[in-house]
């Protein structure tokens, strides 16, 4: 596999970062022949280019990201066997100046099936007027009967009522099954612990949790189920990328590592939302030292930022760890450091 094309993109963008000809669509068109030679043989470069351009144009804020990170996200998606964009297997999402690759729940299901051990995997929401029976213990069972309309078909969502929970089922090659079920309250707890969701609320921006709660609920229950399934390297990588996004952390996708298949997401396990444990199972957090950095350490971390974008990223990660007078102090220090950077 020749990687010179990808190295050329890195060098080209580093030396001329502000040239209009170095935006993602221009670079993609200019290097698509070389990229095709650098990609694994199973990837159709023409199709990859079309899908990437469509996904890019659907989100104008991606134009503010480093084009190399958009390239890396597209190539990493291809390596995993997921298509970005309309079919929902994976999404290109701007995070500061970085493009992140976020697997959708249909993408996670696809990767679970491709592991070779899972025959089928699916998830559904449960609504207030449905019939739902869950039995745990030595003989586990799950039964879901959606409210029906005349003729026996499922009734309209409005008739079935609000969503009250989700479940996901995996069928293995030998015919055995496993499943998980989560109440709406559990899913909302996971949502509220997501740093990405917290950031959107702080900055008064709409989150995908607001616009498509059911899709995110299905993804949450699929993700929990995947914890109990045999994992291929592709599924493990997708789950790690998703965890980084939930943490509000950078994925730091690398163009060359994505193309060679050597990219490994680094997830801070201390920050991962453990959605397999109940609230009562979690250790109490009675002091600031148990919850996160001290105020002095937080200010020191912000002072290391060399640009406003870097400062914003550090601040967003830290803000959730403080409240009251400490939060007011942190905000004041953020403004001071920002003024210093701006000169």
pLDDT tens string 33-68: 766 766 667 777 788 788 888 888 888 888 888 888
Min mean pLDDT across 17-26, 100-109, 283-292, 329-338 is at 283-292
Task: Return the pLDDT at 163.
Answer: 97
The model's confidence at residue 273, banded by pLDDT at 50, 70 and 90, is very low
Average pLDDT, integer, range 173-197: 91
Burial 313-339 (b: 16+ CB within 10 A, else e): bbbbbbbbbbeeeeeeebeebbeebee
From the number of C-beta atoms within 10 Å of its C-beta (0-12, 13-18, 19+), residue 208 rates as middle
Determine the 3-state secondary structure of 90 from DSSP.
Answer: strand
Task: Return the pLDDT at 213.
Answer: 93
Q: Is the pLDDT of residue 196 over 90?
A: no
Average pLDDT, integer, range 128-139: 94
**pLDDT tens digits along 69-112:** 888 898 898 888 888 887 789 999 888 889 999 998 889 999 99
């Amino acid at each position: 596999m020749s990687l010179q094309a990808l190295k050329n993109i890195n060098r080209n963008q580093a030396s001329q970062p502000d040239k209009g000809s170095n935006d993602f669509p221009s670079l993609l068109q200019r290097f698509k022949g070389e990229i095709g030679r650098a990609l694994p043989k199973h990837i159709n470069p023409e199709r990859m280019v079309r899908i990437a351009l469509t996904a890019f144009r659907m989100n104008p804020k991606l134009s503010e990201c480093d084009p190399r990170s958009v390239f890396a996200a597209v190539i990493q998606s291809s390596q995993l066997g997921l298509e970005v964009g309309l079919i929902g297997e994976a999404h290109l999402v701007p995070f500061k100046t970085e493009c992140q690759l976020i697997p959708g729940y249909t993408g996670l299901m696809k990767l679970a099936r491709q592991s070779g051990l899972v025959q089928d995997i699916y998830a559904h929401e449960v609504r207030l007027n449905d019939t739902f029976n869950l039995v745990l213990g030595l003989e586990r069972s799950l039964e879901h009967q959606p409210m029906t309309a005349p003729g026996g078909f499922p009734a309209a969502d409005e008739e079935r009522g609000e969503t009250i929970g989700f479940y996901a089922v995996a069928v293995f090659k030998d015919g055995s099954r496993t499943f998980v079920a989560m109440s709406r309250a559990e899913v909302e707890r996971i949502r509220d612990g997501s740093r990405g969701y917290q950031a959107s609320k702080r900055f008064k921006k709409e989150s995908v949790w607001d616009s498509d709660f059911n899709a995110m609920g299905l993804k949450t229950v699929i993700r929990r189920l995947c914890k109990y399934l045999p994992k291929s390297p592709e599924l493990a990588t997708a789950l790690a990328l998703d965890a980084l996004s939930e943490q509000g952390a950078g994925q730091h996708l690398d163009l060359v590592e994505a193309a060679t298949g050597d990219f490994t997401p680094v997830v801070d396990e201390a920050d991962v939302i453990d959605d397999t444990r109940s609230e009562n199972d979690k250790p109490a957090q009675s002091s600031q030292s148990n919850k996160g950095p001290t105020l002095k350490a937080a200010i020191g971390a912000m002072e290391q930022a060399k640009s406003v974008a870097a400062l914003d990223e550090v601040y967003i990660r830290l803000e959730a760890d403080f409240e009251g007078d400490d939060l007011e102090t942190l905000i004041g220090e953020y403004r001071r450091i920002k003024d210093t950077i701006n000169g």
